[in-house]
Structure 1
């Protein structure tokens, strides 16, 4: 459906979005192969269904059907040479007078897409600030659910960080340990090891995080350690980077005024990991073709 022709009744949006779940998926153009690939597309679709299940909503589609629909949508763009962002989201079907839609409510799923510009390999960096807002309690709203309502915490952190002159926040949990940023996970490098908050700290089970850590071990021979991380470990880190579908691999050069490395450029490990990620999503290497869903050219009309 063309963007300008899409319509959803106004009374469907607000209440339905209380329990709505979503995903963000990048599809990268491969100049090497002349093909667009959805990156870990099925993994994202399965996580969307898992989030809806935890929200007590019942979609009628399985992950394979959502992958097929996404491939059809991407093919319809005929955007040769372009990268496309995909956002599938599921919400309570119909209109609801009450915010608390009941258990077993059917879920509608919409999939939208638009062009995006990858920042991989462009030398970008960011600064961080530990947020004055704590991370929401995963005992009250599980961090494993990728739902819109969980992201209001991130929005508050963004506003706070930028008011203090930083680009992105870092949230601490109730124990005072590091969790993640807003919309991205975090890792530090110390003594040649990658250290990251474990899932029990209140972290989304990020697909990008899984990808990068597997690449770090396989391609770079690095040790990845997932455990509780204290705030001061950030200040003494050799390197820090954010990671996520939107963030890709984003090096940090400062946190709470503590300079990382030379304070200007990404560290050696982060650069190497970013290069591995680039070659994987762009299909420069065939080592992980199982993560790539090719999008066939749309038939001529």
Structure 2
């Protein structure tokens, strides 16, 4: 079945197309005429559509936030459909992905792996080792490996390595708290201001140089802990919906011996996952696999 002509392909194309204006029209928050007018002004003024819609009083900030959250969820579903198209994604054997060059360069003696995953925010999860749909994730690591070799990255890399060396050999929980505090000192800057794009996944070098948004904090914490020898299967970057703010958000989950903890740029200290009730997971990912989350309770065994 082809990507463009099959049923799954048509669904995927629809999900990926989910433009902000179309979603607002479908929801009845915006009329087609208002959208046409706003798009005309956007073309003239070269500013984001959402900002124009709010300026003209067509929609509220809450309308925009809700539509953006829907976009993220639909794009996650599009990724799922992509995996379905590639056939039997949830039954393939685990990929033995190589660690990033950064981890190979900095890694210490490994911390023990885990054999099972407690449920995450009360969700059931289904695992796939096919990461082909997550292009930003893969290209970010490719850029990172390339940047590691460039002279211009030397100073940032040297400081990062020096900071990590002070943590090497400490207990896992201590490293987690220190890495979280280290990364959370970096300024928060959204992608549109920082990169002129709505969504850009930074490498740690880019993050320490320019600041970043939620997924960039999570990526850098993930890479830092991998460099310190924390096994890949003890960590995931999770894309969640923040039900208090009505927006998507990215966090790092670390599975400690005392249960999963959350490393979050919105929360100052590392927090037990069970103490957070306002996040609903959409999907989670690490270097070897990704997981689709559904709102059913259960425990999923990790692959050995």
TM-score class, shorter: under 0.3
Quick check: which one's helix share is greater? 2
Q: Give me the TM-score of the superposition, normalised by structure 2.
A: 0.26
Q: Give me the TM-score of the superposition, normalised by structure 1.
A: 0.26
